[in-house]
Structure 1
Amino acid sequence: MKLYFSPLACSLSARIALYEAGADASFIEVDAKTKRTEDGADYRATHPLGLVPALEIEGGEVVTENAAILQLIADRSPQAELAPREPLGRARLQQWLSFIGTELHKALYVPLLDKAAPAEVKAYALAKADARLGWVAERLAAREFLLDRFSVADAYLFAVLNWSSVTPVDLKRWPALPAYHARLQERPAVARAFAEERERYLRELGRHAKAAPAGAGPAPVTDDRRA
């Protein structure tokens, strides 16, 4: 398998899942600004929208959309038990993947991460935090994971909650959330994935700073999948 990713984007969750599964995979970094891979190739030849993650499997098949990729990784490594097998359990997993993707990733964090979004849009998005994050915190107040054990939904939620540090979202308002995030970061696969991508993200920032015209301020961060 070959995972196309941008450092600290939602694709971090797929890297976590691959490490948790002990899967044989290679990783191709995509510059979130230029949409070029490390060897200079145009990533849009792989995914025309230029979005990460994308997972290339045998035969050159490419799967996109984070929720689909996470479930495929889980299903290809059933011994890791990253996704329930029985129908209700799988429905619960899909419930969480859908909620994280739509209500947190896109509805809450995307506008807050987009420096081009108007202040009114950011305020509207931030107003959604109480209900949505409060509901997640209530779920996690008395349990270790979203489901009965660590799953790919936890990997996705970890990646999304990371973005709170560069937005007005203050997780300390819901103590169960920073506690959950800290617990996950103690897992070897999570710690490894986060450390690797943080290093790469800092290098990417350095590249962009060097490429900026003299006297120009930092380029606006408008990629809605990263912090």
Structure 2
Amino acid sequence: MKLFYAPGTCAVACWIALEWVGTQYDLINVDYTSKEFQQVNPLMLVPALDTGGGQVLTQASAILTYISEQYPLASIGCGDSVEARSKFNEVMSFLSSDFHPSFWPFFSPQRFTVNESSEALEDVVGAAHVRINRVMTHLDQLVGEEGYLYLGRRSVADAYAYVMIRWTERLPKKWREYPNIARFYSLMEKDPIVKKVIQLSNA
């Protein structure tokens, strides 16, 4: 397999998952604007995963689910029952459809207004702060006292959430101010694989 990623993005979650399952893979730090990467993913976004079988997957949630299902013995995916699968899908959908998009206006406010004045951009960023606080509060409730997002055990959802939680370091209200998330974050920081991937991705 070959993972196309960029530092600081949710693609790093896929990198963590690949390390968790212990498989062999190649890692490509991409240039978004290159013609080579455009052939891999016409949207020119990471992550992208070449499965080695003539298929290229995009979207973090799809790639993370694929990894978990390809390596069931690693036990980082969903459970066997309908209820367990439904809960897993709910958590992953929240992360990809609600949590992740909440940061877009913060990182790229110019994409969310036709008014390019500094005041208008500040308003967009301010609205993003409110939205991010809302999804962080919900995530804090999802984590609860169990320490993980799904069934009280480690899963690909944790890798996905952890990488995005790190983005709040750039916000006025950071992850430390959410008690359950703070406990979860510390738990992830103690994982030697997570620590290794973060160090390598920032190198």
TM-score by length of 1: 0.79
Bigger mean CA offset, 85-94 vs 69-78: 85-94
1:128 shift after superposition? 1.8
DSSP 3-state at the match of 2:196: helix
Does 1 or 2 have the higher relative contact order (CA < 8 Å, sep 6+)?
1
Rounded to whole Å, the distance in 2 between the matches of 1:123 and 1:115 is 10
1:175 shift after superposition? 2.1
DSSP 3-state at the match of 1:4: strand
Rounded to whole Å, the distance in 1 between the matches of 2:90 and 2:63 is 15
Q: Aligned ranges for residues 125-136 of structure 1 at < 5 Å? A: 125-136=128-139
Rounded to whole Å, the distance in 1 between the matches of 2:159 and 2:93 is 13
Gaps of 5+ in 2: 112-120
Bigger mean CA offset, 45-54 vs 131-140: 131-140
1:136 shift after superposition? 1.6
* Stretches of 4+ aligned residues off by more than 4 angstroms: none
State which of 156, 159, 169 in structure 2 corresponds to 1:155.
159
Which deviations, in whole Å up to 9, do the C-alpha atoms of 1:89-142 show, x marking residues without a partner?
1221111111111222112x1111226452222112211233321122123231
CA RMSD of aligned residues (A): 1.6
1:35 aligns with 2:28: no
8 Å Cα contact 1:113-1:167 kept in structure 2: no
> What residue is the counterpart of 1:121 in the other structure?
124
Rounded to whole Å, the distance in 2 between the matches of 1:35 and 1:194 is 24
Aligned length, in residue pairs:
192
Greater per-residue helix proportion: 2
Instruction: Name the % identity.
Output: 26
Rounded to whole Å, the distance in 2 between the matches of 1:35 and 1:186 is 35
> What residue is the counterpart of 2:71 in the other structure?
77
1:165 aligns with 2:169: yes
Gaps of 5+ in 1: 200-227
DSSP 3-state at the match of 2:88: helix
